[in-house]
């Protein structure tokens, strides 16, 4: 699915359903799931009952005052519900877009699992795991599956947003096909790997519907903290009424504090701001992951990404561009560099690999050597094989051709020694020097004569070293995984700026490294696309499977990258950390702004019982009624004001934990202390004259 532009924070199409959802969530069953807001909910009901009593003339306070407090408490609950509904609406809009991709598809089911067997047409919904179908050019893939025969180009733009078609073929790591994609050429025989309702598209829809997500461990821990604070304030406020009654009875002066005022005090002191926005932050985190074209199986996976402190990254395609490029011609003793370049170019003219093309281009750039016509030279191409480990070209007389070869040093050594020649010691030293420098040496020979070495280099991606430096400042360790030998791996690791590397990596070695790291109490993230990556993906705390990878890899991971971009892992970690930073910022602000509300309500609540408390009225508010209402109104409006921050997230910065804590306390701690004083005073200035009219 393409996510070129994220939804606006307050999209008109989402506001209506979000407002309706805010009222729908007033059900007690829904409110009980959020203990902090449930206290506000109960307080709203209680003040409504007190208002009804006041209308009969038996009220503890003026009916207008109780009504105002009650209405703003209901608004507080509704605003919190609205924040959660808006976040859910954004995720559900994404799910609706995915549902639009589902079409009624017909499948050609094979009676025998091979091309050419008889077929009969069935609805895609009737397919079951293990069924075999034939898909030809122009047809949609009816269900998730594995290619068991054939090769074809497939349009996956409906799922990934990438317009370029991909090749799918039997065997290897590119055999998985996704239901809803379309075959553009040739044909495929596919074995279905999922039952109806279990397809990747179905799982995507379920994953992005954030309302159904489970609470994460961090969110549960924060909820426990908020509940504990709420209980502390509840007990403290509950003792104030008997204390006030006793004081009035003993002194015979003033009047006791009212239940309405105590409810207002309790609601303003408990952490309602973060309590009202906590769920919205979690849903928005999953939504931001989806906007990055990453499907997370749960909010737990997103949160784990924020806690990760070790990243395992594949070298090829992640740290390097993925294709080795020719960087230098190193001629043997007695051979000119031009002679070596000429032979290397001839040996590579028919080589369509990126490495082969780079050799041709380097020879052209260095010595202006133009490509020759192999037909005019009566040349025959010798392709690379796993057995020979070299390629090249034969020129001239087919009976006794001139043999130009390029390949691994040991392969060329065997080639020239078979013709009775010796492999030069100087060339071997050149081979070793290229390997130590992190390059891949290819040796070139002309018949039995060794001409020199071509240095192939893995090109490290631009800017990747700076990204790793940012991760290091955040306290995240980066480990490069590669199948290269230790010399090559060490050189590339040094150039890229990673903290460590695992060379000559096998599935067993990756799994052992992850377990060892986790045994040290650290959280590990990695990417993978092949079946051989599945064990390590299953073990990792954050496992990002490539959408182009095998079914085994996607099932082992807890995230799927629809773009199949290995560098996405860094972005995933940033999104996870942004969610945790947002939650921490809002919690800091919520706790800090209770201080100002304390200074507003306490002097007002006990103005008649304890006149001495007037010295705490540092804001010099108009009247006790105005002070209490101003604090309650601010408490409700601040939730609305912080909804954009909860949905968008705080600005991400690559800083360490200590620096983030200091910044958090400075901006949201100090801000949480100062802003309420200003906000409550401004509301009081507006509210005071209105209350005086009704006095």
Question: Is 62 a member of any domain?
Answer: yes
pLDDT for 204: 55
pLDDT in tens, 320-349: 776 678 889 999 999 999 999 999 998 888
579 and 512, same structural domain?
Answer: no
DSSP string for residues in 288-356: HHHHTTEEES-HHHHHHHHH--EEEEETBTTTB-SS-EEEEEEEPTT--HHHHHHHHHHHHTT--SHHH
The encoded tokens of residue 341 equal: 């370049």
pLDDT for 115: 63
Place of tokens 């599935």: 507
pLDDT for 2: 42
State yes or no: 355 annotated in a binding site: yes
Total structural domains within the chain: 4
Which CATH number belongs to the domain containing residue 372 in this structure? Answer: 3.40.1110.10
Residue 566 and residue 570: Cα distance in Å, rounded?
A: 9
State yes or no: 589 annotated in a binding site: no
State yes or no: 351 annotated in a binding site: yes
Domain that holds residue 314: 308-319+461-562
Question: Is 485 a member of any domain?
Answer: yes
Question: Is 568 a member of any domain?
Answer: no
DSSP state of 593: T
The 3-state DSSP class for residue 215 equals coil
State yes or no: 385 annotated in a binding site: yes
Residue 137 and residue 303: Cα distance in Å, rounded?
A: 42
Residue 86 and residue 643: Cα distance in Å, rounded?
A: 9
The catalytic residues are 314
Residue 589 and residue 596: Cα distance in Å, rounded?
A: 12
147 and 59, same structural domain?
Answer: no
446 and 466, same structural domain?
Answer: no
pLDDT for 263: 92
State yes or no: 44 annotated in a binding site: no
Distance, CA of 140 to chain centre: 29
Residue 293 and residue 304: Cα distance in Å, rounded?
A: 18
Of 459, 476, 510, the residue that ends a domain is: 459
Phi/psi of residue 157, nearest 5 degrees: -65, -30
360 and 332, same structural domain?
Answer: yes
Query: In terms of Cα–Cα distance, which of 90, 92, 4 is closest to 562?
Result: 4
DSSP state of 260: H
359 and 348, same structural domain?
Answer: yes
The 3-state DSSP class for residue 366 equals helix
State yes or no: 384 annotated in a binding site: yes
Question: Is 644 a member of any domain?
Answer: yes
How far is residue 636 from each of residues 74, 261, 268, 320, measured CA to CA in Å? Answer: 9, 16, 9, 51
Residue 21 and residue 154: Cα distance in Å, rounded?
A: 41
Give the strand order in the sheet containing 559-561: 294-296, 559-561, 542-546, 524-528, 310-314, 477-481, 500-502
In this structure, the number of other CB atoms found within 10 A of the CB of residue 438 comes to 21
Q: Among the residues of 349-463, which ranges form H helices?
A: 354-367, 409-417, 425-436
449 and 331, same structural domain?
Answer: yes
Q: Name the pairing type of β-strands 166-169 and 132-136.
A: unpaired
Place of tokens 């906000």: 679
State yes or no: 247 annotated in a binding site: no
Region label for 291, one of left (φ > 0), alpha (ψ between -120 and 50) or beta (otherwise): alpha
Which regions in the chain score pLDDT beneath 70? 1-13, 90-104, 114-116, 157-164, 172-173, 198-217, 251-254, 298-299, 317, 322-323, 371-377, 386, 530-532, 548-551, 566, 607-610, 654, 656-657, 693-695
286 and 434, same structural domain?
Answer: no
Query: In terms of Cα–Cα distance, which of 605, 599, 582 is closest to 678?
Result: 599
pLDDT for 159: 60
Query: In terms of Cα–Cα distance, which of 197, 215, 178, 221 is closest to 298?
Result: 215
How far is residue 241 from each of residues 141, 384, 609, measured CA to CA in Å? Answer: 69, 89, 11
The 3-state DSSP class for residue 687 equals helix
pLDDT for 98: 57
Of 167, 195, 223, the residue that ends a domain is: 195
In this structure, the number of other CB atoms found within 10 A of the CB of residue 54 comes to 20
pLDDT for 210: 46
Question: Is 689 a member of any domain?
Answer: no
Of 151, 167, 195, the residue that ends a domain is: 195
Question: Is 302 a member of any domain?
Answer: no
440 and 330, same structural domain?
Answer: yes
Q: Name the pairing type of β-strands 477-481 and 310-314.
A: parallel
Question: Is 669 a member of any domain?
Answer: yes
Global pTM value: 0.64
434 and 341, same structural domain?
Answer: yes
Residue 604 and residue 611: Cα distance in Å, rounded?
A: 9
Question: Is 376 a member of any domain?
Answer: yes
Place of tokens 């940033």: 574
Residue 239 and residue 244: Cα distance in Å, rounded?
A: 9
State yes or no: 387 annotated in a binding site: yes
328 and 454, same structural domain?
Answer: yes
89 and 234, same structural domain?
Answer: yes
* Start-to-end CA span in the chain (Å): 61
pLDDT for 168: 84
420 and 312, same structural domain?
Answer: no
């Amino acid at each position: 699915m393409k996510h070129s532009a994220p939804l606006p924070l307050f999209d008109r199409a989402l506001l209506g359903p979000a407002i309706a959802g805010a009222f729908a969530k007033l059900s007690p069953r829904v409110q009980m799931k959020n203990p902090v807001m449930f206290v506000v909910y109960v307080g709203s009901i209680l003040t409504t009952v007190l208002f009804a009593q006041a209308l009969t003339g038996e009220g503890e306070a003026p009916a207008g005052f109780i009504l105002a407090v009650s209405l703003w408490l209901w608004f507080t609950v509704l605003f919190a519900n609205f924040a959660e509904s808006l976040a859910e609406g954004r995720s559900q809009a994404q799910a609706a877009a995915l549902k639009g991709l589902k079409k009624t598809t017909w499948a050609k089911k094979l009676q025998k699992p091979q091309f050419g067997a008889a077929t009969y047409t069935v609805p895609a919904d009737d397919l079951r795991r293990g069924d075999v179908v034939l898909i030809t050019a122009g047809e949609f893939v009816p269900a998730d599956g594995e290619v068991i025969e054939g090769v074809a180009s497939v349009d996956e733009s409906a799922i990934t947003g990438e317009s370029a078609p991909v090749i799918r073929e039997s065997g290897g790591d590119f055999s998985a096909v996704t239901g809803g994609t379309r075959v553009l050429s040739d044909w495929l025989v596919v074995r279905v790997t999922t039952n109806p309702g279990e397809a990747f598209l179905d799982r995507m829809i379920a994953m992005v519907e954030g309302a159904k997500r489970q609470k994460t461990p961090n969110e549960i821990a924060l909820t426990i903290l908020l509940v504990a604070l709420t209980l502390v304030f509840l007990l403290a406020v509950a003792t104030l009424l008997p204390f006030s009654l006793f004081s009035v009875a003993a002194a015979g002066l003033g009047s006791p504090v009212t239940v309405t005022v105590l409810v207002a005090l309790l609601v303003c002191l408990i952490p309602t701001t973060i309590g009202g926005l906590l769920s919205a932050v979690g849903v928005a985190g999953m939504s931001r992951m989806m906007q990055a074209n990453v499907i997370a199986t749960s909010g737990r996976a997103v949160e784990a990404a924020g806690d990760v402190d070790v990243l395992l990254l594949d070298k090829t395609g992640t740290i390097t561009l993925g294709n080795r490029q020719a960087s230098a011609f190193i001629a043997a003793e007695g051979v000119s560099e031009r002679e070596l370049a000429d032979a290397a170019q001839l040996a590579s003219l028919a080589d369509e690999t990126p490495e082969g093309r780079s050799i041709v281009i380097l020879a052209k750039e260095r010595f202006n050597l133009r490509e020759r016509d192999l037909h005019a030279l009566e040349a025959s191409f010798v392709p690379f094989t796993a057995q020979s480990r070299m390629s090249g070209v034969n020129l001239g007389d087919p009976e006794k051709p001139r043999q130009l070869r390029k390949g691994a040093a040991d392969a060329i050594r065997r080639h020239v020694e078979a013709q009775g020649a010796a492999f030069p010691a100087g060339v071997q030293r050149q081979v070793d020097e290229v390997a130590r420098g992190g390059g891949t040496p290819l040796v070139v020979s002309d018949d039995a004569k060794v001409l020199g070495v071509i240095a192939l280099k893995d090109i490290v991606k631009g800017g990747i070293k700076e990204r790793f430096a940012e991760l290091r400042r955040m306290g995240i360790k980066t480990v490069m995984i590669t199948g290269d030998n230790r010399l090559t791996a060490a050189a590339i690791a040094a150039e890229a700026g990673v903290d460590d590397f695992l060379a000559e990596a096998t599935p067993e070695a990756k799994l052992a490294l992850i377990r060892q790291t986790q045994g040290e109490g650290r959280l590990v993230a990695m990417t993978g696309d092949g079946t051989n990556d599945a064990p390590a993906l299953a073990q990792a705390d954050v496992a990002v499977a490539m959408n182009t990878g095998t079914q085994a890899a996607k099932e082992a991971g807890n995230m799927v990258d629809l773009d199949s971009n290995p560098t996405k892992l860094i972005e995933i970690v940033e999104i996870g950390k942004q969610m945790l930073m947002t939650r921490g910022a809002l919690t800091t602000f919520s706790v800090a702004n209770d201080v100002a509300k304390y200074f507003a309500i306490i002097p007002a609540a006990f103005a008649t019982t304890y006149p001495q408390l007037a010295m705490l009225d540092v804001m010099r508010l108009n009247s006790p009624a105005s002070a209490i209402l101003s604090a309650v109104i601010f408490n409700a409006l601040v939730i609305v004001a912080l909804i954009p921050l909860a949905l968008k997230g705080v600005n991400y910065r690559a800083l360490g934990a200590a620096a983030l804590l200091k910044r958090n306390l400075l901006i949201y701690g100090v801000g949480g202390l100062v802003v309420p004083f200003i906000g409550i005073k401004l509301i009081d200035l507006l509210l005071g004259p209105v209350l005086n009219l009704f006095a």
